[in-house]
Structure 1
Amino acid sequence: MYRHVAIIGTASVAGGAFYFAHHLENQRQPLSSCTAATVPAAIKCLQMSGVAVVPGLRMDPNLVRDTMAMPAAESMPIKNRKPKRRGVKQSKEEEDQQLMWRLSALGRYHCRDEDRFNPKDMQVLERVEEQIRPLVDEFFRVEEEGLEGVYRSELQLMTAVPGSVHQAWHKDNRGRGLSIIIPLVDFTVENGGTQLLLGSHETAWPLAQDQGAKVVVAPAGSVVAYDSRTIHRGLGNATSEGRPALIFCYDRERTPPPGCGTMGSIATGLQGRLLDVLSGAISGEWMKS
């Protein structure tokens, strides 16, 4: 009898711990700090927290409109695409969309091959890049090497459609680089803006900063920058509208992304989950819900 009670008790504790961890991991606490009025202030935020939101570089509404009017943007999926079934012929439009928009997780689609962008798309994207260039240059200029060997390692348009799921926690690069996200609609806690573990770009344990995981909440056209070593993920979209965004990544030629193999990626994912849960517990977020 005592054995059965012990087994039931152990199972209850394990189940409660699993529920507790799952509940904490799904918390969506908005990012209320890391806003920088100037590029130098943004560099300080990036050094301290690994993240900076820079309102002064925000795209004007006309440029956001032009970006959403790009042929590539107009072709983006607006709902979960049905898997291709053997023997069922797809329309040309479906085939073209499948080639252009790659799936990374359920409901998350990426157009990241620059060959997929036509000249009109690239003209718009170059205008966007002009606005963020001062931040990119300053980020790398503070290092001894300056701008030597800095290149754009990734340019992509992505969207998370309604019903999309969380990404796995990951880093864009194990080496120091800069990733920039530009929301093309307002990022909210509900539509699953990027969630970052503040301070995780440093080798020191990020919980020492008692910041934990925070979700980017920012209007369309905002410039959200983070150190490529920061552990982050895109959250699932719980609204009825898509969440499109532009992503620019910059790295040095000597440290190309991702800088870690399969095992390193798995380890980062597990580390992200653990830090997310622990930081939520330590900061008392579980008590607020």
Structure 2
Amino acid sequence: MKFVIILLMIDFLLGTIAKQIFFSQDTGKFARATHVIEDSEAKVMVFGSSHAHRHYVPKVFEQELQTTCYNAGAEGQQLLFHTALQQMVLKRSKPDLLLLNIDEDFLYSSREAYDRLADLHPYYSDHRDVLKPILEMGSPGIDFKLFFKSFQANSTLIHALRYYASPQLDQKGYRPLYGKVKPSKNLKRFENLEAGDDIDPNFVITLERFIAEAKDYGVPLVFVTSPNLLVTDYTNNESLSKIREIARKEQVLLLDFFNSETFLEQYQLFHDTSHLNNDGAELFTKLVADRIKELQHSK
């Protein structure tokens, strides 16, 4: 009994210190997530993976749409993470527009999509109602695992210390890339080699939940795909086909820029074969904003 009491006291002490360090971060991916969850009142919010994080420039949206914007994109994260983030945001704030950048492999099986949900562990105590159903998809018994306070933030401390030593600056969540791709005959379209060939039913349910949450709160939702450097054939991509089917069924506007002629083989607009550089991102954001304005004026 004494051992258990001492263990719980140590866990409480270490957990309190770890969470204090975690929530005191000013820069980096966790600081951005905390801002989105706890503070942001932006009227336009962008969700998605690195293609969202690197491709949507808030200042351009703000200039074009005359509103406020925050880029909530998170590198390496997929639908489970974005849906959890969206639900925590909508509990506190009501944006005027949600934009989800769609990756073609969003619905394919991916163990990483589950493993990377550990980034949400520090928020579990305050947002258990939202996080438990999502975290349990990949980790049954999450209540027991996160009972120990020190466990909730332990995987984040290295990142926190790194950001203290080397701040990771951003522009309202957006982090620009400045490199340029050199033309080459050997360039190939980036592929997620770890994506499976099977559709994960949990991911389908999660995408439908993302749409349902926006509708329940009365917040307009737009899906957008980011441009490719090279022409890519998605005819046999079951994940993308399913996403398009769901968007049509739920009447969600999908702005498809995958093979936009504005960007195809425009090497000066790309940092690598999968990501736009800052010039490309500003142009892309302007085009998306123009389409949104057209949509608003047509109503």
Using the size of structure 2 for normalisation, the TM-score is: 0.22
Which is richer in helix?
2
Q: Which has the higher strand share?
A: 1
How high is the TM-score relative to the length of structure 1?
0.22
